[in-house]
Structure 1
Amino acid sequence: MRDTLITLIVFGSLPFILKRPYIGVLMWVWVSVMNPHRLSWDFAYSFPFAAIVAGTTLIALLVTKEPKKLPATPIVVILFAFTAWMVVTTIFSMWPDESLVMLNRVWKIMLMTVVTMMLIKTKEQIHLLIWALVLSIGFFGTKGGLFTLLSGGNNIVWGPPGSYIEGNNEVALAFITSIPLMFYLYHMEAKKWVRWGLAAAMVLCAFAALGSYSRGALVGIVAMVFFLWLKSPKKMVTGAILVMLIPVAFMFMPEQWFTRMDSINTYEQDASAMGRINAWWMAYKLALDRPLVGGGFEIYNRIAFGLYAPVPDDVHAAHSIYFQALGEHGFVGLGLYILLAILTWRKASWIVRTTKGWDELKWAGSLARMIQVSMVGFAVGGAFLSLLYYDVPYYLIAIIVCTGALVEKALKERQLAARAVPAGSLAAGPGGGHALANQAGTAPRKGAHAA
């Protein structure tokens, strides 16, 4: 039944994708992030739904007459550069055959990120994309939160099988990055029942993150919650809610949870923590030996650890997005990845500043702030996880680029309208600057001057 339902939904969407290509982006996000086919047991489990959706979207992108211009921003340039550099590091990889398999997986994510930037053009489409992300991750967060509550926190929450977030640590970070998006939708939504549903989902996702028993997720939660309060438009209300909920959440967790979290303070006695540090040293020393290109994908094997790790027999994955970038793609790759994050953060900050007091674009400023919160949670939690190629952060980058393009468009329209009005007409005309803003179709910002 599940196999048939998923197949009907995906194939039923294809005609709509050919007519409106942005629907293909939404379907791609749903299939690639939620992995609904992995919830089935028969033919749909390994069926290439993502490839079919992506192929149809690319065809629609070529044949439809809708505008497809890629926003001109340094973020796009660095994204292309990072992707191109991964191709270079694959060519010079220590294990080229294995690296090529991973590159084939990663470039699809980067391609669809670019396609997203090209096809998502309106506020409504941006909101649909956010809903696709929230529902895809929130499904498992709600399920995991209920599981944690019903089991008294005695069982570990896991992610969808066969995905980037299958592990307990990885899925916990996914929950952390999705909560700020839910918080944004909560404040944008007018329907009370939807707001209550989002509020419940946020709480349950937080419980699911705790129920993952992930120490890295705990650190990420702390960072995310602090910045969520810092970026909240109603700090007093948000702070009061957090003060009430956080102690209740911790009191609910069992003793073994606190024992595991307390091992953060005694990491040198924990084999898992020391294994991660060993992997970090391996990546660092490999990068020193191959500073430009690193070792390429798939360097976590006995040969690489035998050459570069302090403890050669203790083979682990990178367990850090930063050391993963460093070990696999060298100092150049790490620099490009960090630069991509910095440019995205700065663009979000520009959106917040530009839309301040601009009523019609208030949503854009709020969204940019919440994506910054998600970025903080991912940046902190990702320091302990191998999620360099997890697709959701790249979609958040795309959302910032698309939102920034809308803000720039509105800003240019207002400036053109201001130039079109004869000198002195602002003062003589009824409503002054407000009348001009209404002609331009945008609301004036506080303290803004027409120029």
Structure 2
Amino acid sequence: MRDIILFLAFAGVIPFIFKRPVVGAMAYAVVSLMNPHRLTYGFAQNFPFALYLGVVTLAAVLISREQKKLPMTPPVLVMLLFFTWYTVTTVFAQVPVGAWIDWERYAKTMLMVFITIMTVRTVSDAKVLALVVALSLGFWGAKSGVFVIFSGGGEGLRGPMSSFISDNNTLALAMVTITPLTVYVATRARTKWVKRAAMAMTALTMLAAIGSYSRGALLGTFAMGFFLWLKSTHKLKTGLAFALIVPIVFVMMPPEWTGRMHTIQTYDEDASATGRINSWHFAINVANEFVLGGGPNVFTPHMFMLYAPEPERYYDAHSIYFQVLGEQGYIGLAIFLLMFVVTWRAGGRLIRHCRGKEDLAWVVTLARMCQVSMIGYLTAGAFLTMAYYDLIYYIIAILICLEKVLVQSPQKDDVPPMRLQFVERFLERRKAKKKTRVVRLNKGA
């Protein structure tokens, strides 16, 4: 039944993609982030929905008469630069076959992110993009939070299989990163019940992140909490709320969870932590040896035998920073970090532009929550191999799109072009009918 429903939704959305390509970009984001096909049990489970949605959307963009504009703002330029550098390092990669496989996946991600930025044309489109990103992963946050409650701690928590967030650690990073956007959804809800549902989703998402047994997620949650307190206009209330929540969480969690979190202080006694340090030294050695880095997928047993301090201890990068350093070299890491710096500044420009304008208060909230999401990602990501996870690029895209439609080329009317034409024709017909009626009345008189 789930397979049929998903295929009907897939078929039903295609005509709308050709009317407005942004619909295809949104649908692709849902499939890419939420992985709804992984919730099925039949033929839909391995069907390439993302591929077909991407092809249809690209075709719609090519034939559409809508204005397609990729704003050449600093975040866009740095993302283009980073992808170009990624391509160069792939050409000269030390593990060519694996490098091109990774390049293909990353190229698809970046292509659809750029198409999303191009096709978002109105304020409503930007709002929908934020909502799509928040709810796509908020679904897994709510689902995982319920699992933590009923499992008594969350051990065994998993995300959608064969995805970026299939294991507990990667799922935890996604939950940490998306929580601020679910907070935004809760603050902008128009009805009481929608607000309550969004707040429940936020609470469950936070619980899923903490209950994932991921130490990086715990650190990311604390970093986000500190930033929220720092930017809060009610520091006393916010501080008291955190002071109450933290001990409650530690009391509710099982001893196994508490024991694992304590290993943050005793990392030198933990085999997993020392293995990660070995991987980080490997990344440094590779970056010192090759100006371009080792290229994508350089973290392999063969390369460890050549450049790792302890060659027999093979681990993945377990850090977005050392992952980029090992694969893209020092120059690639600098570009990667610059991408977040310029995006943060774009968020700051949006906040300054909209501050004090009541009708744009939602933009201030959304921009701040995107900044908090970046803090969570950059903190939790220090311990996870998720440098090319599409979620963070969609969050960057939200800020780019907001700046595009509000600062660079603000539109007076937020009605999509096709709908606007329909409304205009409807009003013209009504006006013509009124004129005809007046003429008839005058003749009758």
TM-score, normalized by length of structure 2? 0.90
Q: Does 1:192 align with 2:192?
A: yes
Match of 1:264 in 2: 264
Pairing of 1:224-243 with structure 2 (within 5 A) = 224-243=224-243
Compute the displacement of 1:251 (Å). 1.4
Match of 2:137 in 1: 137
In 2, the alpha carbon distance for the partners of 1:338 and 1:396 equals: 15
Worse-superposed segment, 36-45 or 264-273: 36-45
Q: Structure 1: give runs of 5+ residues left out of the alignment.
A: 414-451
Letter in 2 for 1:405: K
Match of 2:203 in 1: 203
Q: Does 1:105 align with 2:70?
A: no
Match of 2:148 in 1: 148
Match of 1:383 in 2: 382
Contact 1:231/1:373 (<8 A) preserved: no
Pairing of 1:117-128 with structure 2 (within 5 A) = 117-128=117-128
In 2, the alpha carbon distance for the partners of 1:407 and 1:134 equals: 21
Match of 1:403 in 2: 402
Compute the displacement of 1:341 (Å). 0.7
In 2, the alpha carbon distance for the partners of 1:32 and 1:156 equals: 23
Tell me the alpha carbon deviations over residues 52-93 of structure 1, each in whole angstroms, 9 at most, x when there is no partner: 111111111111111111112121111111111111111100
Match of 2:323 in 1: 324
Pairing of 1:173-192 with structure 2 (within 5 A) = 173-192=173-192
Contact 2:99/2:295 (<8 A) preserved: yes
Letter in 2 for 1:346: R
Q: Cα distance 1:93–1:221, how it changes in 2: closer, same or farther (>3 A)?
A: same
Compute the displacement of 1:301 (Å). 1.6
In 2, the alpha carbon distance for the partners of 1:193 and 1:394 equals: 31
Pairing of 1:80-95 with structure 2 (within 5 A) = 80-95=80-95
Letter in 2 for 1:122: T
Letter in 2 for 1:382: G
Pairing of 1:396-435 with structure 2 (within 5 A) = 396-409=395-408
Q: Cα distance 1:327–1:221, how it changes in 2: closer, same or farther (>3 A)?
A: same
Contact 2:343/2:396 (<8 A) preserved: yes
In 2, the alpha carbon distance for the partners of 1:230 and 1:120 equals: 32
Tell me the alpha carbon deviations over residues 277-318 of structure 1, each in whole angstroms, 9 at most, x when there is no partner: 110100110000002x11111112222111111110111111
Q: Does 1:351 align with 2:347?
A: no
Q: Cα distance 1:407–1:235, how it changes in 2: closer, same or farther (>3 A)?
A: farther
Match of 2:250 in 1: 250
In 2, the alpha carbon distance for the partners of 1:191 and 1:79 equals: 38
Compute the displacement of 1:182 (Å). 1.1
**Please, what is the CA RMSD of the aligned residues?**
1.5
Tell me the alpha carbon deviations over residues 254-285 of structure 1, each in whole angstroms, 9 at most, x when there is no partner: 11110000011110110000111110100110
Match of 2:370 in 1: 371
Compute the displacement of 1:21 (Å). 1.0
Aligned to 2:228, what secondary structure does the other structure show?
Answer: helix
In 2, the alpha carbon distance for the partners of 1:170 and 1:204 equals: 17
Contact 2:210/2:218 (<8 A) preserved: yes
Letter in 2 for 1:287: A
Compute the displacement of 1:207 (Å). 1.1
Worse-superposed segment, 222-231 or 159-168: 222-231
Worse-superposed segment, 339-348 or 400-409: 400-409
TM-score, normalized by length of structure 1? 0.88
In 1, the alpha carbon distance for the partners of 2:232 and 2:363 equals: 14
Contact 2:405/2:411 (<8 A) preserved: no
Match of 1:41 in 2: 41
Compute the displacement of 1:364 (Å). 1.6
In 2, the alpha carbon distance for the partners of 1:116 and 1:412 equals: 18
Identity across matched positions, percent: 43
Compute the displacement of 1:244 (Å). 2.9
Match of 2:79 in 1: 79
In 2, the alpha carbon distance for the partners of 1:117 and 1:22 equals: 9
Compute the displacement of 1:391 (Å). 0.2
Worse-superposed segment, 244-253 or 56-65: 244-253
In 2, the alpha carbon distance for the partners of 1:247 and 1:180 equals: 21
Contact 1:156/1:213 (<8 A) preserved: no
Q: Cα distance 1:410–1:118, how it changes in 2: closer, same or farther (>3 A)?
A: closer
Match of 2:96 in 1: 96
Match of 2:426 in 1: none
Contact 1:287/1:331 (<8 A) preserved: yes
Contact 1:95/1:299 (<8 A) preserved: yes
Compute the displacement of 1:410 (Å). 6.9
Q: Cα distance 1:411–1:64, how it changes in 2: closer, same or farther (>3 A)?
A: closer
Compute the displacement of 1:368 (Å). 1.0
In 1, the alpha carbon distance for the partners of 2:131 and 2:69 equals: 24
Q: Cα distance 1:154–1:72, how it changes in 2: closer, same or farther (>3 A)?
A: closer
In 2, the alpha carbon distance for the partners of 1:164 and 1:154 equals: 19
In 1, the alpha carbon distance for the partners of 2:154 and 2:352 equals: 45
In 2, the alpha carbon distance for the partners of 1:366 and 1:338 equals: 24
Contact 2:158/2:168 (<8 A) preserved: yes
In 2, the alpha carbon distance for the partners of 1:361 and 1:336 equals: 32
Contact 2:154/2:212 (<8 A) preserved: no
Tell me the alpha carbon deviations over residues 343-402 of structure 1, each in whole angstroms, 9 at most, x when there is no partner: 001111111122211222222222111111000000010010000110010011111111
Contact 1:361/1:407 (<8 A) preserved: no
Match of 2:393 in 1: 394
In 1, the alpha carbon distance for the partners of 2:107 and 2:19 equals: 25
In 2, the alpha carbon distance for the partners of 1:140 and 1:366 equals: 23
Match of 2:425 in 1: none
Compute the displacement of 1:4 (Å). 1.4
Aligned to 2:44, what secondary structure does the other structure show?
Answer: helix
Tell me the alpha carbon deviations over residues 89-122 of structure 1, each in whole angstroms, 9 at most, x when there is no partner: 1110011111111111110000111111111122
Match of 2:275 in 1: 275
